[in-house]
Structure 1
């Protein structure tokens, strides 16, 4: 059972997300609270996934994210937003958010996306992905620090990193590389350790900064 905490300042949003997710098999919303109650609720209930509104009047969503990420056993946190080009996208992702969900996400897709988050996958809308890659990241020369980090990777780990950066789930990476899901999860964990990151989004940002994604984006490589 995937345990979820929904954090939003609007009661209607909390109620809607709770109803949709509780109707899905294998998912339980254990709390739906406003921003001021979020840290305590997570500490008491230890959810697997937190859906956190990025803009709240009582407490800033980025502040809550920072507090949750500092926990010794942080949950997976995905930010909720009304805008797929929210200016806080890059800050949240670099602070450890596992993705972004639009509040008007298709109800049929919402449980699928939450399950993907719980499985360690990154969830971003197509527009958010373009915002991160094209708008917020430096498109100039590769950063030496990022390049040094990626030099720690083996050829197989680098292949896993590139597929993660494409947004592929563990099962899809396994299909591409002819590996079991368990083996892929092991490689993902090793990649995180070597790159000194804690999420797929952060790993993808390192790959981008190191220049690993640019050949494929420019059409010069596979």
Structure 2
């Protein structure tokens, strides 16, 4: 019987439940060998030693942003096709990932089978976007160079940037000379515009995008 060539997949994801879910999905196929890393450091090391064909990469890693290590992963293993697996499918996340060399992007809200579909497509040299991401891009008529702050006012841009610098709402209200309620309402509106559910997730978004404070308009 002819031996089936194994497809080597590296999953870089800090949440054990998500890694376990990936393993269960890949177990549906007999030709997939998966190893996992829970940090950027371990992921970079395994990329060199394991030499995966496909890398499934989370953005919010404990020791670095996936955006930061994405180019390094490609540079050290240019055969690997990288699929970003993220909680967020906002336009800025997708464009940042693609611009840095990813060839696939799916969210953790997509159907489990989309992960297998993504692997097949990227292995054939195609770009794969999950259903949630494709809908977002269609709705926003996204251009590759879109600004992460597109759609936000200058004041809203200041607020989200200060959140990313670790400022509390009280500190932001003092710095911008605004009432606390005004800042809180601003954060609520920003979350609505970016389709982000919680303030914690918004802070993470700002940190991962290294947003800089804008001057007020």
- TM-score, structure 2 normalization: 0.57
Structure 2: state its 5+ residue gaps: 1-5, 147-217
State the partner residue of 2:111: 106
- Which of 25, 30, 53 is equivalent to 1:25? 30
* RMSD of aligned Cα (Å): 2.3
Q: C-alpha displacement at 1:24, in angstroms?
A: 1.8
Shift of 1:93: 0.3
- Cα separation, partners in 2 of 1:107 and 1:127, compared to 1, 3 Å: closer
* 1:95 lines up with 2:97 in the alignment: no
Residue 35 of structure 1: aligned partner:
40
- 1:198 maps to what in 2? none
After superposition, give the CA deviation of every residue in 1:29-57 in whole Å (9 maximum; x if it has no partner). Answer: 13343222111001000000000002223
- Number of residue pairs matched? 139
Mapped to 2, the partners of 1:122 and 1:138 lie a distance apart of 17
CA contact (8 A) 1:5 1:42 kept: yes
TM-score (norm 1): 0.56
Q: Distance in 1 between matches of 2:112 and 2:68?
A: 28
- Cα deviation, 1:140-170, whole Å, max 9, x if unaligned, reads xxxxxxxxxxxxxxxxxxxxxxxxxxxxxxx
Which of 132, 142, 146 is equivalent to 1:135?
142
Q: Which residue number corresponds to residue 52 of structure 2? A: 47
1:101/1:124 contact within 8 Å kept: yes
Q: Deviations over 1:86-107 (max 9, x none)?
A: 5322111011100101123322
The whole-number CA distance in structure 2 between the counterparts of 1:62 and 1:83 is 13
Distance 1:28 1:72, change over 3 A: closer
Counterpart CA distance in 2 for 1:106 and 1:25 is: 20
Say which one has the larger Rg.
Answer: 2
